[in-house]
Structure 1
Amino acid sequence: MRIAGAPISWGVCEVPGWGHQMEPGRVLAEMRALGLAATELGPDGFLPGGARERDELLASHALGLVGAFVPIVLHDPAFDPVPVIDRALDGIGGVLVLAAATGLDGYDERPVLDTKAWSTLLANLDAITARAAARGRLVTLHPHVGTVVERRDEVERVLGGCSVPLCLDTGHLLVGGTDPVWLARFAAPRIAHVHLKDVDVGLAQQVLKGDVTYTNAVKDGLYRPLGDGDIDIPGIIRTLEDAGYEGWWVMEQDTVLTDEPAEGAGPYDDVRRSLDFLSRVAR
């Protein structure tokens, strides 16, 4: 298994006011100490903006760059996402993981799209997929809580209405009302990137019903170390591997930190437990 990390597991997030933001030196050092082979980029400003400086920093921790999560508005007919996409393709190696952003800060509210907005979204996804492929690059769409592609009917509309590959995020799918085991079985040929999370189903249902905001649910422990939640992680891995999946498995347990954790505690311990679980699954 090609296992990578993500800064969000250490509480590093693009959302303003998300929580305490750890410095990249410690995050990267802990990733490498845990045996991770690579990382996603993280939010703007976390790693150096220049490709050479960024790659040198990653190399100093013996880490590769697997790709980047890029939230971008794709449904607005008045906004052209291509310049943003081109800059991302020029500056970022690996998989471009798109989220269909709402244009609002955070993930606690979102608009309902009309027919024109949906047509724009699907057309943009097809155009971006083709643009990336022409450059030998891979783009995926990440169904994500608080974006315009969150719920099961929206995921199905994307699958039926355009050709973009998917990033299967086990946690965001479940919180949005899509069974990730079902999606792994139903749409395996479309899945080109995977974020592994485990989830407290009780909290997920509260978010889905609108009883608690997504941000507060994350603070309350929505995401659990792999094996400690309610998702059939081994079943998803087996299904995708049997279907020929050869991409990365990115460890992600989104967390909100209130302060700097002690050495070996907090995110480090949670990711360690998840990796121990994956090791047992692999055996």
Structure 2
Amino acid sequence: MRIAGAPISWGVCEVPGWGHQPAPGRVLAEMRDLGITATELGPAGFLPAGRRERDELLASYGLELVGGFVPLVLHDPAHDPVPEAERALDDLGGGTTLVLAAVTGLDGYDRRPALDTKGWCTLLANLDAICALAAGRGRGAVLHPHVGTMVEGRGEIELVLGECGIPLCLDTGHLLVGGTDPSWLARTATPRIAHVHLKDVDARLAGQVRAGHTGYTEAVAAGMYRPLGRGDVDIAGIVRSLESAGYEGWYVMEQDTVLTAEPPPGAGPCADVRASLDYLAEACLAEGAP
């Protein structure tokens, strides 16, 4: 089964002041106890910095590392992101995917500057350079369209698809919040999809974020991301579409959350991830995928 977990489902996030973040031991143990056998990395500082120590820790919980979310400034002509990408690839190790987000350089995901032609040219060139760098090391790199980054909406995604060659991370939640139908992208851009983040979304709260009535972080804290099958994204249909087109990558379950305190054992994020796993077993695996 190509289903992985992610620390963000336990409220572990790279954004300063995001909320209470449980210790790695609890997060990894709950992943293991739920039957999850693979995970993404989580933000810098969550797991040990040394690869050997980190890999030994993950192995002690029966977990394989499948990738890592790496936010980089890619649009600034005065900034070279390649050395950061090289370090990230070294840290991740073989067999993993570098999941890039074209961040603004500001803290958080609640605002973003407009991008001019020079900025777009720089961003696209950096995406191709990092993609080639990863391929040269036998690894994958994907761009993650993400709310509050320089690649958020449908027009920006189409520009990336048309003007550079990097594959995409299809994040069903960020796409919907950013105004793109994830089912449409799964159908029309399947050859460019190399990694998947499965999220379900409360479309009402997503609409408030798009309209500027609610900040992104505020909406996440209010429960914009729902356990799979309890929101407004056709998760089962997207998985079936990808599988029927020959997708062979990972499905990383992500229900971004903001915690205010340590939840009781077995409750909070653990219960939500269990509900998502149950949904996948009933709605997707019964039809032969993934």
Encode CA deviations 1:2-61: one digit per residue, 9 max, x unaligned: 110000000000000000010000000000000111110000000000001001100110
1:131 Cα deviation from its structure 2 partner: 1.2
Counterpart amino acid of 1:191? Answer: I
1:135 Cα deviation from its structure 2 partner: 1.2
Asked whether the equivalents of residues 2 and 37 of structure 1 are also in contact (C-alpha less than 8 Å), the reply is no
Distance 2:226 2:89 in 1: 32
2:186 counterpart of 1:184: yes
2:136 counterpart of 1:134: yes
Distance 2:41 2:168 in 1: 18
Q: Which runs of 4+ in 1 moved over 6 A?
A: none
Q: What's the TM-score, normalizing by structure 2?
A: 0.97
1:199 Cα deviation from its structure 2 partner: 0.3
1:128 Cα deviation from its structure 2 partner: 0.9
| Secondary structure, aligned partner of 1:145 | coil
Aligned to 2:125: 123
Counterpart amino acid of 1:61? Answer: Y
Aligned to 1:54: 54
Aligned to 1:37: 37
1:169 Cα deviation from its structure 2 partner: 0.3
| Secondary structure, aligned partner of 1:103 | coil
Counterpart amino acid of 2:14? Answer: E
Distance 2:137 2:71 in 1: 21
Aligned to 1:158: 160
Aligned to 1:73: 73
Aligned to 2:207: 205
Identical aligned residues as a percent: 74
1:208 Cα deviation from its structure 2 partner: 0.5
The residue correspondences of 1:77-96 to structure 2 (distance < 5 A) are 77-93=77-93, 94-96=96-98
Aligned to 2:221: 219
Counterpart amino acid of 2:105? Answer: G
2:2 counterpart of 1:7: no
Unaligned runs of 5+ in 1: none
Aligned to 2:279: 277
2:202 counterpart of 1:193: no
1:134 Cα deviation from its structure 2 partner: 1.2
* Matching residue within 168, 171, 183 for 2:170: 168
Distance 1:212 1:225 in 2: 21
Distance 1:251 1:231 in 2: 14
Encode CA deviations 1:193-245: one digit per residue, 9 max, x unaligned: 00000000000000001010000000111000000000000110001001100
Distance 1:245 1:32 in 2: 25
Aligned to 1:110: 112
Unaligned runs of 5+ in 2: none
RMSD: 0.5
Aligned to 2:267: 265
